[in-house]
Chains A and B, each alone.
Chain A
Amino acid sequence: MLRVILLGTLVLIGSVSFIGVNRNAYPQKLSDWQIFEDKLSLLHPKPGVVPYTLNTTLYSDYAEKARFVRLPAGTSVNYKPRGVLDFPIGTLLIKTFYYSADFRKPGINKKIIETRLLIREANEWKAITYVWNDEQTEAFLEIAGDDKQVSFIDKEGTTRQVRYVIPNQNQCKGCHNVNDILEPIGPTIGQLNGKLAYSTGVRNQIDYWKAHKMLLNVPATKSIPKTAVWDDPATGDLNIRARAYLAVNCAHCHRREGPAQTSGLFLNEEEKDPTAIGINKAPVAAGKGSGGRMVDILPGDANASITWYRMQTQDPGERMPELGRNLVHKEGVALVRDWINNMK
């Protein structure tokens, strides 16, 4: 009898779901959203689900990302030169994080980790994430976060290991935060103003959105802003590309409306005050993150600059960004290093 009770207790403990009560009543499974057709892991979008990409993307431990947008049928977005587009209620932004087994053969043998959804509800955006099973047949709602060991071969042919961290629901708002309101970060006009290979051929995304009546009131092409591609010198000089990289990777927190406003360090592209972007600026509450350096940026000397230091350290209490980076982004660090070293 005792054994039976014990066994029962164990089963009960084992089956407790940490997802808890789903008060928002979001589906427990990604497939229930009806975003993809065919085999789920192929990420083939259903009609009305449109792929998109950004000129300069947020670094997330070398994860590759597949982005899609789904506007409610018959709706569209108004052109807006700055800031994230004002998507209509019911819009879904869908971002899937995966690793190709060998980055020299992208898309082959990929391991999908998570699919994040940003949902435009009546009064606000909601962020949730679905974690893929090992069989890659389904992804399940997870609010408390998780981590996954991933192995991949990088572009140089070196095998890399990463403990990929899936953020908990609160951590979503650590980045997606404008004056304490959750918002998307990526899809601005400048970021969308670049080419994408659609199933029907390569096209500029603005042209595609316009042609498919997703985007209205688009002005003449030459007046449309264009964010530089951080690793493509043809799209901008060192300063422009470094600022684009810092804007995308840091400014969601480091801007006047963001969670890092307490630091006085603002890295959005519009920021013009040299102190605010860190030049000869003493840290405020960096703690050991200063790495013993006196200012965020010492022009001409990346090694003596806190900005560089925090990008290349691994310590969770020092590194920047705080979330989503266990591996140093060598190429990004090199860009910012060159930018500081060339600064007069």
Chain B
Amino acid sequence: MNALVQFAKELAAGRIRVVDLTQTLAPDFPTITLPPEAGQAWPFRIEEISRYDDRGSAAYWNNVSFSEHTGTHFDAPVHWISGRDLPNNAVDTIPAEHFIAPACVLDCSKQAAQDPDYLLTVDFVTNWEKEHGRIPPRAWVLMRTDWSKRTDPVAYQNYDETGQHTPGPDSDVVQFLVKERDVIGFGTETIGTDAGQAFHLNPPYPCHYFMHGAGRYGLQCLTNLDLLPPTGSVIFAAPLKIKRGSGSPLRVLALAPA
């Protein structure tokens, strides 16, 4: 019996859980907010093609539009200027085997609850490793903040007069994860892999800068991270095969022991 047959049996027997880490694509789900004079990421929009009516009597279907970075989405290295010249840096050329990888879930929910501007640090990671073991190479590091439980878009975006306040990694930990732990990517529940105030970090948006500069990936707007164990789960995260695409909305599934 090969491993896949065994896997199928375990799945059928309910000993493996499938956890959907994806937010529903809906028009009122917020997208990243940028200065109005900048180029803008389209929010998700959906308009009927027909609904069993004069536009098409037998069919219900819709046209949808969105940016590559709308909803729960995948960031490819080409998304950032630091990754622009890497080989296989777009969603259509990333090797397919990179779309399946183990995950380490770092629970920062208490910290984030106390401080919306909370930044993940190297200390936090090394402490976490003392309890859960060293992060293996080519694993996703998912930063659990329970931010996805903020179902009110206003609380989720959490703007005030100085901009957005959401948690994320600091500059050092990103470099640490890339250089010292060889992670495949970094995932968050917030609207970016970087913190809301990451414009003021050095460099600005360090997670984008270093992850993508090293050919690593991002996942954002994840949900249900609280249903995953700290280690031992596997992530399926395959973006749409958009030619020279910088990312895409996608369905992110986790497999975890029951």
A, B bound: no
Chain A interface residues toward B at CB < 8 A: none
Chain B interface residues toward A at CB < 8 A: none
